């Protein structure tokens, strides 16, 4: 199995504010964000190889991704990056990670992969308890969904079969684009499902079943006990928090 780091995005205002070209190179405690993710995936026992998916402009500096292969996406969109990761995996399963997880650990990667393998799913998506994330990373602001089992935020790790990613690419892109819009989510999930979701009447299994129906494959949802999968650096306040936490190590 390979680990694929999604690093093709420009990063917008956050990258611009610190004078780098892409979000993956935003410095945290003197090191690029992507370096932390590369090292976590390389130390994971369940992965055989690590690739970094970069944008079409240029590969990332080698010193930022030591020991990882670099693969170019044909564009900067989410679907371009996912497609490049799936193609890089070949026939192997792929563990997808975003490039902005400075606190990621090999243990959280291995636990996610093992759950995915045991589930037999085509696509395993991770969630994390929002209380655990808030305790581990005080001050971070996350999108929260209430389920029967508790209150969760989306994780930044997934495990998938490449063919499931490629076959469902348009649907994955649509789901990704609508994830923060109530109107978009209504069209995607259906009004009754969304209402039950907003009322906290759905279980993790319900979410997995609906995800599978939308994407046309077997979906599993892993409630990870590792809060670090829910801490990504999107905003200046996230960067300040990451600097404090990692700089103190």
Nearest C-alpha neighbor of 115 from the set 15, 249, 226, 232: 226
CB 201 within 8 A of CB 149: no
pLDDT of residue 125: 94
pLDDT of residue 182: 46
DSSP assigned state of 102: T
pLDDT of residue 142: 82
pLDDT of residue 196: 76
164-219: pLDDT as tens digits: 999 988 777 776 655 555 445 545 567 776 777 777 788 999 989 988 988 889 99
Rounded to whole angstroms, the Cα distance separating 246 from 39 reads: 14
* Ramachandran assignment for 182, one of left (phi > 0), alpha (psi -120 to 50 degrees), beta (any other): alpha
pLDDT of residue 183: 45
CB 165 within 8 A of CB 82: yes
222-238: pLDDT as tens digits: 999 999 999 999 889 99
pLDDT of residue 156: 92
Cα dihedral value 21, 24, 26, 30, nearest 10: -130
Rounded to whole angstroms, the Cα distance separating 168 from 170 reads: 6
Domains of the chain: 2-161+220-241 (3.90.550.10)
Rounded to whole angstroms, the Cα distance separating 26 from 182 reads: 31
Q: What is the mean pLDDT of the chain?
A: 89
Alpha helices in the chain (DSSP H): 12-18, 33-43, 78-89, 106-119, 130-136, 162-167, 169-178, 182-189, 191-198, 204-215, 236-247
pLDDT of residue 179: 52
Kindly state the tokens that stand for 31: 């090191």
CB 139 within 8 A of CB 237: yes
Is residue 145 predicted with pLDDT exceeding 90? no
């Amino acid at each position: 199995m390979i680990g694929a780091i999604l690093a093709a995005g420009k990063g917008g205002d956050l990258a611009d504010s610190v004078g780098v070209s892409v979000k993956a190179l935003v410095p945290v405690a003197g090191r690029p964000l992507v370096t932390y993710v590369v090292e976590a995936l390389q130390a994971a026992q369940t992965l055989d190889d690590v690739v970094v998916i970069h944008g079409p402009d240029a590969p990332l500096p080698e010193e930022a991704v030591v020991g990882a292969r670099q693969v170019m996406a044909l564009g900067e969109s989410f679907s371009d990056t996912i497609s490049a990761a799936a193609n890089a995996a070949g026939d192997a399963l792929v563990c997808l990670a975003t490039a902005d997880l400075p606190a990621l650990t090999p243990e959280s990667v291995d636990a996610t992969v093992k759950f995915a393998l045991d589930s037999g799913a085509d696509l395993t998506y991770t969630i994390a308890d929002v209380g655990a994330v808030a305790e581990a990373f005080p001050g971070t602001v996350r999108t929260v969904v209430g389920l029967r089992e508790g209150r969760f935020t989306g994780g930044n790790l997934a495990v998938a079969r490449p063919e499931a990613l490629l076959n469902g690419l348009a649907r994955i892109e649509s789901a990704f684009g609508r994830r923060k819009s109530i109107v978009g989510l209504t069209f995607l999930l259906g009004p009754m499902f969304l209402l039950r979701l907003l009322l906290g009447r759905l279980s993790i299994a319900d979410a997995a079943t609906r995800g599978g129906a939308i994407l046309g494959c077997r979906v599993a949802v892993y409630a990870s006990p590792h809060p670090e999968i829910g801490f990504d650096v999107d905003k200046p306040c996230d960067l300040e928090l990451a600097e404090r936490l990692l700089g103190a190590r």
